[in-house]
Amino acid sequence: QPVLGVLGGGQLARMLALAAAPLGVKSLVVDSAADACAGQVAPLVVADWTDYAALEKFAAQVDVVTFDFENVPAETAHWLAERVAVFPAPQALAVAQDRLAEKTLFRECGLSTPDFMTVDTREQLDQALARVGAPAILKTRRLGYDGKGQFRLREVADADAAWAALGAQAPAHGLILEAFVPFERELSVLAVRGRDGDFRTWPLTRNWHVDGVLSMSLAPAPDSDVLQERATELARILAERLGYVGVFALELFVRNGELLGNEMAPRVHNSGHWTIEGARTSQFENHVRAVLGMPLGDTGVRGMSAMFNWIGELPEQTAVLETVDAHWHDYGKQERAGRKVGHATVCGIDAGALAERVQRVARLLDRQPQAQPVLDVLGD
């Protein structure tokens, strides 16, 4: 029985393990926290990323290693890759870990990005602001997620506040100043590439963020027919350039009808959670298949799906359980402000059926503001 090794034991590892089981694949997860939520569904090795004695034992027990967490140190990934197959490869991971390398690659692949400039000192922040202009966002190049490690500058005079917030991280991680894009909408394309080069995408997903954290997703993104082909082509070029194996997400802004690249996640992604019930093969199952060299599954959809992210606390579950084709996911995590603790996916055969169920769930849970953007699109 093949064993999948997963670095990081959060909800992504948990959902990977749950998808691996029916394929006859066992999972073994590594996390530094003994209460990592994937540990509730798969055996857990408690170790940090430099505990090479524990990692040596782990490597000997698994057939392939993959990631729940993209910020595993590059040295750890390389060290493991000398002992066992690691997918995506450490070199691909390294590109996605650094916003500069990532944006540079996007541009080389023909995907435009927001204007940006790297910032290592307070003086360079002024120079970058002069070039990029305001409004802008200062981000750490490495280790940011869920909008952490970012500061939004409304005007040039916010430079001091931005530096006070992030300047201390410049020496270790580097910073990047990006132009703030007044986008019309945000999309992501979920893609998978197998060890044999087979490449597939799921239909584009439309996403809404609140305070830099994903709040709602809707798929297939309505009115995206013209963008689907372009997004798929860009994802394919990126995947081939990186020799990528597994699932990844490419986050996109749409401005004046054109795609701009925001970032890529070298792993299964929150905006693809709807694929568990809404697609013929979920992102989790296809990731397991890809990294183990199995044939990939059909990425077609069963209808339309909307996902509610539960941030900080779980709402009462009955409303979802009592709604037709609505699906509850509790990650088994401690509730904490800003933390992703679960999600719900609501499916329907068409926009009308989906809208009715989304409305029902939102009303019963008193979540109308969260669901409204989705309902506005479905109502069009």
Which residues of this protein are in contact with ligand ATP, per CB under 6 A? 114, 137, 144-148, 178, 180-181, 186, 209, 212, 251, 262-263, 265
Is 148 flagged in the annotation as binding?
Answer: yes
Beta carbon nearer to ligand ATP, 137 or 189: 137
Is 108 flagged in the annotation as binding?
Answer: no
Residues in the chain: 380
Taking alpha carbons only, the member of 303, 314, 334 closest to residue 40 is 334
Q: Which residues pair with 137 in a beta bridge?
A: 152, 178
Could you give the 3-state DSSP secondary structure of residue 131?
helix
Could you give the 3-state DSSP secondary structure of residue 97?
helix
| Eight-class DSSP state of 365 | T
Instruction: Choose the stretch contacting Mg ion; rule: CB under 5 A; options: 132-140, 263-271, 292-300, 311-319.
Output: 263-271
Beta carbon nearer to ligand ATP, 309 or 323: 309
Q: Please, is 247 exposed, middle or buried when counting C-beta atoms within 10 Å of its C-beta (0-12, 13-18, 19+)? A: buried
Sheet holding 64-67, edge to edge: 44-46, 26-31, 3-7, 64-67, 85-86
Is 26 flagged in the annotation as binding?
Answer: no
Is 99 flagged in the annotation as binding?
Answer: yes
Minimum gap (Å) between residue 97 Cβ and Mg ion: 10
Structure tokens of 109? 């692949």
Is 180 flagged in the annotation as binding?
Answer: yes
Distances (CA, A) of 197 to 48, 230, 295, 324: 32, 19, 11, 38
Beta carbon nearer to Mg ion, 263 or 285: 263
Q: Residue 178's binding partner, choosing from Mg ion, ligand ATP, none, with beta-carbon cut-off 5 to 8 A by kind? A: ligand ATP
Considering CB under 5 A, how many residues would be counted as binding Mg ion?
Answer: 2
Binding string, 196-235, against Mg ion, x = CB under 5 A?
----------------------------------------
Is 333 flagged in the annotation as binding?
Answer: no
Binding string, 233-262, against Mg ion, x = CB under 5 A?
------------------x-----------
Is 262 flagged in the annotation as binding?
Answer: yes
Beta carbon nearer to ligand ATP, 185 or 302: 185
Beta carbon nearer to ligand ATP, 90 or 144: 144
Strand ranges (E), the chain = 3-7, 26-31, 44-46, 64-67, 85-86, 116-119, 136-140, 150-153, 175-179, 185-193, 199-201, 205-210, 213-219, 246-255, 258-265, 304-311, 326-330, 340-348
Q: Residue 180's binding partner, choosing from Mg ion, ligand ATP, none, with beta-carbon cut-off 5 to 8 A by kind? A: ligand ATP
Minimum gap (Å) between residue 260 Cβ and Mg ion: 13
Minimum gap (Å) between residue 270 Cβ and Mg ion: 9
Q: What is the dihedral of CA 98, 228, 355, 186, to 10 degrees?
A: 30
Q: Residue 174's binding partner, choosing from ligand ATP, Mg ion, none, with beta-carbon cut-off 5 to 8 A by kind? A: none
Beta carbon nearer to ligand ATP, 269 or 367: 269
Structure tokens of 369? 């503001």
Could you give the 3-state DSSP secondary structure of residue 265?
strand
Is 136 flagged in the annotation as binding?
Answer: no
Beta carbon nearer to ligand ATP, 253 or 284: 253
| Eight-class DSSP state of 297 | P
Q: Residue 52's binding partner, choosing from ligand ATP, Mg ion, none, with beta-carbon cut-off 5 to 8 A by kind? A: none
272 touches 250 (CB < 8 A) = no
Lookup result for tokens 């916003």: 99
Is 87 flagged in the annotation as binding?
Answer: no
What are the binding residues for ATP? 99, 139, 144-150, 178-181, 186, 209, 262-263
Annotated binding site: 99, 139, 144-150, 178-181, 186, 209, 262-263
Contacts to Mg ion by CB under 5 A: 251, 263
